[in-house]
Amino acid sequence: MDEKNSSELCLYNSVLLNPDCTTYQNGGVLVRGDRILLVSTSEKVIEESSKGATKIDLNGAFLIPGFHDSHLHPVIGGIDLTECSLYNLDCSEKYLEKLFEYSLEKPELSVIKGSGWIYGAFSNLGPRKEFLDKISFEKPIFLKAADGHSAWVNSRALDIAGINRHTADPVGGKIERDPETGDPTGTLREWPAMNLVKDQFPSESREERALAVRAFQREAARCGITSIHDAQCKPKFMDVYSELENNGELTLRVNASFGVYQREGKEALNVVKARRDQCKHRLIRGNCAKLFIDGVIDGRTAFLSEPYNNSDNRSRGICQWDWAPLKEMVFSLDREGFQLHFHAVGDAGISMAIDAIEHAIINNPDRERRHQIVHLDCLAEKDLFRMAKLGIVANVQPAWFCRDSNFEKDILTALGSERAFSLYRFRDLKNAGVKVACSSDWPFGGDSVSLNPLVAIQTGITRQPPGKINCISYLPGQAASLAEMLEGFTEGSAFIDFQENITGSIFPGKKADLVALNRNPFLENPFEIAKIKVILTVFDGKILFREI
């Protein structure tokens, strides 16, 4: 071994998750450089290691491949860490108390930003500006909902943006209005409406974005995450990833989706092709085009086949694309070799995405595509086997598979009992033969948000929110097994990103992305899995995080 060009890491006395994700064995792993050299008994890997190898006795810890989160928003989440967090609070009084404390702590801010409020804390029209006016009349306030699809703003923010009763709803968005006066209430649905306010504020600096990614990387390492898919990677985000890799600071494998929107017209194809051509990095890939079909059920912007139960105008939600331009764009992106990444929540939106993919597959040359639809909350029976037949991967968020604080007041009233109790059909997807990958959508989610895959794994198995007692499991017949959840956060997510030959399992020749857990999840009570701790994270053969 050339000590100048290579290094060794010997992990022994561990319990290894086998590549099938259903079984495990005692043994160890020898890493040379950035790759797994040997998987064998502890005695063998110690024997084969060099004198200069770093040897770590894992004392029976459970060794798995590095977690792979296949849909999240690292830069946005990293920036959110510096703003006012309303997560894990559940009413306007608590929100205002937290905001008041935050405003006193940071008097230098010209804009108060935050995120994490839940729909269930307010009426169907959402939170009102008057609540926030109690915090400040002078400074604009902009607060994202926990799922990132609505904003709560004060009167000052509306004034700066010029939003009043005469302002038309932007295409793809909605300004909530008082039913008596027609004045905007302070709730903005979807980013076309949210950006009317957000675009009035100064954008974060390049250094702030770099600090956000560094903060995210530290948290990811503590959670055992070694690969990610940035679900909406803007050019300024890619610049940060590139800079960090060039400086040797990037500690994740990054796959990126580039947004494509109807308002951009046909030129969007050339733009996304140019961005792909510029993405030439060892740790960063960018061959994925992201298309938003609709919004979310909570905000009544997911695109449904039948109207919402609590809609005065029998609204079916908001569809972000017309059929003809969507069909043409998907056909063109597929022809150019892009992998497609659809946000689709409502059953009509999901069907529309599948229709567009099917048209592209029929009319373009055959190839390995792995197009994916993310979320799939309200999935129609007829589309289960269509996804399997077309090879469409389901990218799901197991942390959502429960009755959280939004369910009774918001989801149930919006959909009615029959539809509300037919969401998150994990078992049906698996039984239909659909390949499944798992992700967090961090920092977005329900009433509690966690980057930790073990929290999502527990919820996917139990169909109950972690940390709450006396809960009713949501559709327990749709529950996942532990093996399925581990696969979804390792090999399944590696597959969706065309990385299964590089990472996703512990196998000689693959990259040394490894995580040690302090307990064996197969021997734990399913309701205790979220309490398991990551004690070692190895990325590319280098130790990122260690508590052993």
Q: What is the 3-state secondary structure (H, E, C) of 257-317?
A: EEECCHHHCCHHHHHHHHHHHCCCCCCEEEEEEEEECCCCCCCCCCCCCCCCCCCCCCCCC
Are the beta carbons of 67 and 492 closer than 8 angstroms? no
Q: Is residue 71 part of a domain?
A: no
For the chain, give the percent of residues with pLDDT over 70. Answer: 99
Q: In terms of residue numbers, what domain contains 459?
A: 206-503
Helix (H, G, I), strand (E, B) or coil at 481: coil
Q: Is residue 336 part of a domain?
A: yes
Residue 101 confidence (pLDDT) above 90: yes
Residues 23 and 160 in one domain: no
Q: Is residue 1 part of a domain?
A: no
Q: Is residue 325 part of a domain?
A: yes
Single-letter code of the amino acid located at 148 = G
Q: Is residue 3 part of a domain?
A: no
Residues 370 and 225 in one domain: yes
pLDDT for 462: 97
Confidence of residue 2 (pLDDT cuts 50, 70, 90): very low
d(CA 232, CA 420): 28
Residues 277 and 411 in one domain: yes
d(CA 115, CA 444): 9
Model confidence pLDDT, tens digit, residues 138-162 = 999 999 999 999 999 999 999 999 9
Confidence of residue 406 (pLDDT cuts 50, 70, 90): confident
Residue 98 confidence (pLDDT) above 50: yes
Question: What CATH code is carried by the domain that includes residue 453?
Answer: 3.20.20.140
Residue 310 confidence (pLDDT) above 90: no
Question: What CATH code is carried by the domain that includes residue 536?
Answer: 2.30.40.10
Residue 511 confidence (pLDDT) above 50: yes
Question: What CATH code is carried by the domain that includes residue 136?
Answer: 3.10.310.70
Confidence of residue 447 (pLDDT cuts 50, 70, 90): confident
pLDDT for 137: 92
- How crowded is the C-beta side of 150, counted as CA atoms within 13 Å? 32
Residue 5 confidence (pLDDT) above 60: no
Residues 417 and 533 in one domain: no
Domain count of the chain?
3
Angle at 322 between CA 272 and CA 234, to 5 degrees: 25
Residues 126 and 241 in one domain: no
Stated pTM of the model: 0.93
Instruction: Give the pairing type, strands 62-65 and 24-32.
Output: unpaired
Residues 306 and 179 in one domain: no
pLDDT for 112: 97
Q: Is residue 128 part of a domain?
A: yes
Residues 59 and 95 in one domain: no
Q: Is residue 2 part of a domain?
A: no
Helix axes 381-390, 347-363, angle to 10 degrees: 30
- 313 or 15: which leads in pLDDT: 15
Residues 486 and 532 in one domain: no
| Contact partners, residue 116, CB within 8 Å, separation at least 6 | 85, 86, 87, 88, 89, 143, 144, 145, 146, 449
- The residue-averaged pLDDT of 20-36 equals 98
Residues 185 and 264 in one domain: no
Residues 142 and 225 in one domain: no
Going by the DSSP 8-state scheme, the letter that residue 60 receives in this structure is T
Residues 148 and 166 in one domain: yes
Model confidence pLDDT, tens digit, residues 274-302 = 999 989 899 999 999 999 999 999 899 99
Q: For all residues of the chain together, what is the average pLDDT?
A: 95
pLDDT for 4: 34
pLDDT for 6: 46
Where does a domain end: 198, 228, 248? 198
Q: Is residue 542 part of a domain?
A: yes
Residues 429 and 539 in one domain: no
Where does a domain end: 150, 170, 198? 198
Where does a domain end: 198, 233, 256? 198
- Gyration radius from the chain CA atoms: 23
